[in-house]
Amino acid sequence: MKKKIWILVIALVIALTCLVACDSYASTLQNIQTLLKADYSVVTLNVTTVTSGITLNGNYSLSFDGDKTTVVYDFYRLNELDVNGDNADSFITRVQGTAVVQDGEIVEGDKSVNLPQEVNFNGISFKQAFFSNTTTTNAMFEADVINPQGFTGNNGFVCTDMHVKVMYSQSALTTMVITYVSERGSDVSVTYAFTK
């Protein structure tokens, strides 16, 4: 009889521990989601892409004014080869400029510039079902992303090995780092820095 009571006590302790951990985990994700939607004066975004040993860097500074976002960008891109031989002197081009984005569209600036999808981080969603191998503290969340489409809010997004790490305080996110392997096999690292 005593053995059954001990087994029951151990089972109850394990169940309560799991309930508290799950509740804490859900609370952490809800807190991050709330902080993600907070008002920030500036969000800087650094994107590093490594393809076939070539590293391309991009820096984007987003400042907000109502429903308009001003993006100051400075990034490198690979030049496409022209079959007629009209090619640039270098295989990499540096692109710099400023664009004003409203409702996901460039309304001022060079409309031919393709800003990366990461510039719009409003679709990012922190739901338990999107993650595995999670680690949480009172100021950090880290996990493997098992549903990149749900996490990014982009059903057409294809990648593998996505991982996210978020650092935050009580009132704001400080940094969010997302790494993944793109559909074309490039290693991508995206770092967001948030300023209130």
pLDDT in the model for residue 86: 55
- Give me the pLDDT at residue 21, please: 44
Distance CA 48, CA 59 (A): 9
Mean model confidence pLDDT for the chain: 81
Q: What whole-number percentage of the chain has pLDDT above 70?
A: 81
Between 101 and 87, the more confident residue is 101
148-173 residue pLDDT tens: 999 999 888 899 999 999 999 989 99
What band does 101 get if pLDDT is binned at 50, 70 and 90? confident
Q: Estimate to the nearest angstrom the gap between the alpha carbon of 178 and the chain centroid.
A: 5
How far is it, in rounded angstroms, from Cα 119 to Cα 140?
22
Region of 52 please: left (phi>0), alpha (psi -120 to 50) or beta. Answer: left
**Whether residue 82 has pLDDT greater than 90:** no
CA distance 105 to 88: 29
Selection from 183, 195, 194 nearest residue 49 by Cα: 183
SS3 24: helix
Query: Lowest-pLDDT range, 1-10, 74-83, 107-116?
Result: 1-10
Quote the pLDDT of residue 10: 42
Q: Are 122 and 136 in contact (CB under 8 A)?
A: no
Q: What is the pLDDT of residues 18-60, one digit of tens each?
A: 334 444 678 889 999 999 989 899 999 999 999 888 899 999 9
CA 27 to chain centre: 20
Res 79 pLDDT > 80: no
pLDDT bin (cut points 50, 70, 90) of residue 195 is very high
pTM of the model: 0.80
pLDDT for 174 equals: 96
